Structure formats: structure tokens, C-alpha cells
Amino acid sequence: PDAIVVRAAGKLFVAGEYAVVSPGQPSVLIAVDRYLTVSLTAGVDAGSIHSPEYSRMPVRWTRGVDGLTLDREHHPYDYVIAAIEAAEQLRASRGLAPRFFDLRIDSGLDDPSGRKFGLGSSAAVTVATIAAIDAFYGLRLTLRERYELAMLATIVVAPNASGGDVAASTYGGWIGYRSPDRDLLRRARAESGVAGVLGSPAWGDAEIVRLEPPSGLDLLVGWTGHPASTERLVSGVSRGTNATSTDQTAFLAASRACVDDLWRALSRDQDAASADLALASLRRNRRLLQELGARSGVTIETDRLRILCDAAEDIGAAAKPSGAGGGDCGIVLAPAGADLAGMLRAWETNDIRHLTIGVHPPEGEH
Ligand code: MEV
């Protein structure tokens, strides 16, 4: 039989980082036209996960047992394994017999030389693995169910992840996102299994809304050349901030107000004022993240991100670090007529690479 080949898009955060880790706080993301591919072929008497980047690793599971028995020592495949476990639990709940399969993972999200751009390969591999298993067993999951399954898998590996990257990779296009309460989800999964959590009230304030691209603004992405560890940055910020302090409450309120403006600016009925609202919102969000960094003692906006963003603001554009900061990419929204060539020259002088990345279009519901 032929291989099932699915690809999942990478992502970039546009706004709302760090705040979005708190359930219900709004953020904005885009899916990008760089992809990770998972190819699934039916296995005979074993399953496996394989990627050119890592060594081959055998995956075993026991027929008749709830879920899989897997070798947990191979860190690179944690997200894949968590995705298989979640999908297999759902498969079992539908009364379908387990089957063996081989997974091959090819990431086109990073630099050909292997350096990470920070485009969300963990989310993409989780989303693609779920989609491949969905097709293999004929589960016919909706986009929302794929997101929920991939989110449940993600928080096994990264307990505090907001899942914005999972949502963007699943839905495509520009999205607005609010995260669920992950503790609640873990408890619900423990109590009622994966099938019982899908579509349940445990998702609380989680929300994914489709937004429109900003009309009259160009989106540009700069890469600092320095890979950053989201996990390290997020735990550093959470250690460095007191969750119940007035500063943190003020940060969440300001981020919410600022991202709410961006949601409005990216709505279906954009008008002449929308582009300015989007630019102002992005600039404000940059300042909020600078303050958060200063307050928590974590360098979110590194020197290179500062240069990248300043060069954009110098030409009348708006810019900020995308995602956790500490390196990786910066994102720019530039009004028509801005001196993009001037900005790109400044980037080049400072060794900041312009990534020619576009938005992956919204996925159709099926
Ligand atoms: C990292 O890509 C974005 C953060 O908001 C963390 C998260 O959303 O899980 C900093």
C-alpha cells in the first residue's frame, strides 16, 4: 500500500507571547509556508519512527492493551510518541483494532545547514503525526479535534505550553488564540480518557478564531541566526515574575488590551484605520515584552532582536520578537511605501537574515 504523506505548517507568533500562557489571554499567530512532513506506511510486525536527523528507533505496542508501550528514552521523538499515544487512545475508544506503522519525519522548517529558525517544529511534528494516524485509521477528525488531540499530546511533553503553535499549524492562515487550562485538561484526560476530553467543557476559554491578513501591510521576517530555547526562557520568566503581583496583573491586562486591538484590526471589516491600529498594537506589544524581560531578568529582546526591530521602526514599520525571544526570529509589519530596502540593508549590515516566508493559507474544514 502507498504511504500516507501529510505535511504540517510551521508557525510564527505575531503578538501576545508569554501572556498567552495564562488561560484565556488572547494572542495572534500565523501559519507559515514552510513544512514538516510525516510519511506513514503500514508495518508488518512492528512499528517505527525514523528521521534523517536522528537514528532509527523501534516503537512497540501491545495488542489489546490501552495505548502503547514505548521506549521513552529517545528524547527527539517525545512529541511523536505523545501524539501516537493520544491518537491510539482515541482509536481504541472507537473500537478499531491497532495496526503497526512506520513513520518517517522530514523537517523543512529549519535552515538546510540544520540551524533552527524557531518555526515550531515540535508543534508541526505533533500535528502531522496526528493527521497521518487519522488518515491511517480513517478517524475523520475535524480540525478542532486534531487541534485538541495534538494539544493533549503537547502538554505531556511541555506541561505549560500555550498550544498557540499547535493551533496555527492545524488551522493555517492568521489566527487569534486563547489557551485552555492545561491542569484541567490533564485531570480530565486522567479521569475520562482522550475520547472523553474531546469537545468537553475542560477546554474552558480555549478559542481559535480565524483572522484576516492585514490589508495594506507587508509581513516580513528577520532571523537573528541565534537559536533560542523556549522552554528555558518561559521557565526563566515564570521564575522571575510573581504571578500574583500587581506588575504581572498589569502586564496581562495591557497585553490583553493590546492584542484585542490587533484582533479588531485583523477582522473581516477592516477599514482605513485598521492598518494604523495593527501597527500601534505591535509596537505596544514590543514595549510590554521589553518590560516583562526587564522585570523578570530574562533577555527576551536580545541585542540582535533590538537591531532588527529598531531598523523596522526607523522606516515607520512595527516589529517585535516572535515567540519567546532570546534569538530566533523577529516579525515586521510594514505600511505601503515604507523604505523596505533601507531596512533590509540595515539587517544585512548586522547579519540579520531576511527569511522569505509567506503565510500558509487557512485549512478547509472537512
Ligand atoms: C513561545 O513560542 C511563545 C510563548 O508565549 C510560550 C507559549 O506560548 O507556550 C512565550
Tens-digit pLDDT profile for residues 333-348? 999 999 999 999 999 9
Nearest 5°: phi and psi at 163? 85, 5
Domain edges within the chain: 4-210, 214-355
User: Mean per-residue pLDDT for 186-214?
Assistant: 97
Mutate to test the pocket of ligand 1, among 165, 288, 300 (most ligand atoms within 8 A of CB): 165
| Closest to 363 in 3D by CA, of 8, 80, 86, 4 | 8
- Ligand 1 center to residue 275 CA distance, Å? 25
% the chain with pLDDT above 90: 82
CA distance 223 to 350: 11
Q: pLDDT band at residue 35, thresholds of 50, 70 and 90?
A: very high
Nearest residue to 18 (alpha-carbon basis) of 313, 321, 342: 321
> Tell me, what's the pLDDT at 147?
98
Query: For residue 230, which atom of ligand 1 is closest to its CA?
Result: 1
- What are the residues facing 8 on neighbouring strands? 36
Cα 288 to Cα 278: distance, rounded to the nearest angstrom:
15
Determine contact, residues 55/65, Cβ cutoff 8 Å.
no
* pLDDT score of 61: 57
Distance 197 CA to ligand 1 centre (A): 23
Which residues contact residue 226 at a Cβ distance below 8 angstroms, ignoring those fewer than 6 apart? 302, 304, 326, 327, 328
Mean pLDDT (the chain, rounded): 92
Q: Looking at ligand 1, which residue's alpha carbon is closest to its atom 8?
A: 162
Cβ neighbors of 273 (< 8 A, separation 6 or more) are: none
DSSP, collapsed to helix, strand or coil, labels residue 5 as: strand
Per-residue pLDDT averaged across 292-299, rounded?
Answer: 97
**Angle formed by the axes of helices 274-296 and 230-240, to 10°?**
70
Q: Residue written as cell 529598531?
A: 310
| d(CA 13, ligand 1 centre) in Å | 8
Supply the residue whose CA is at minimum distance from atom 3 of ligand 1.
Answer: 323
Q: Where are the alpha helices (DSSP H) in 95-137?
A: 121-137
Q: Which residues have CB under 6 Å of ligand 1?
A: 13, 17-18, 20-21, 161-162, 164, 230, 234, 323-324
Q: Using the mean position of ligand 1's atoms as its centre, give its distance from the Cα of residue 325 in Å.
A: 9
Chain centre distance of CA 114: 19
- Per DSSP, what are the bridge partners of residue 329? 223
246 CB-near residues (< 8 Å, 6+ apart): none
ipTM higher than threshold 0.90: yes
For atom 7 of ligand 1, the residue with the nearest CA is 162
Q: Across the strands, what pairs with 29? A: 13, 175
Check whether 70 has a pLDDT greater than 90: no
Task: Name the least confident of 55-69, 101-115, 123-137.
Answer: 55-69
Q: How confident is the model at residue 226 (pLDDT cuts 50, 70, 90)?
A: very high
Q: What's the gap in Å between 48 CA and the centre of ligand 1?
A: 30
Specify the higher pLDDT residue, 73 or 249.
249
Torsion sign over Cα 77, 365, 148, 282: positive
CATH for the stretch 4-210: 3.30.230.10
Quote the percentage of the chain above a pLDDT of 70. Answer: 93
Fold of 214-355: Alpha-Beta Plaits (3.30.70)
| Nearest alpha carbon, ligand 1 atom 6 | 18
